[in-house]
Amino acid sequence: MSDQTLFEQIVEGEIPSYTVYEDETTYAFLDVNPLAPGHTLVIPKEPYERLEDMPAGAAADVFGVLGEIAAAVEAAVDADATTIAINNGEAAGQEVPHVHWHVVPQFEDGTARPIHVMFDGADLSDDEMETVAERIRDNQ
Ligand code: 5GP
Say which of 39, 98, 100, 102 is annotated catalytic. Answer: 100
Describe the chain by its helix, strand, coil percentages, rounded to 5: 35, 20, 45
Please work out whether the CB of residue 91 comes within 6 Å of at least one atom of ligand 1.
no
Q: What is the pLDDT of residue 97?
A: 98
- The length of the chain in residues reads 140
Intervals of the chain under pLDDT 70: 1
Residues 6+ away with beta carbon under 8 Å from 30: 17, 18, 20, 38, 39, 40, 41
Dist. CA 104–CA 81, nearest whole Å? 8
Domain boundaries 6-138, CATH class: alpha beta
Give me the percent of the chain exceeding a pLDDT of 70: 99
The reply to whether the predicted model has a pTM over 0.85 is yes
Please work out whether the CB of residue 31 comes within 6 Å of at least one atom of ligand 1.
yes
Q: What is the pLDDT of residue 2?
A: 76
100 is catalytic: yes
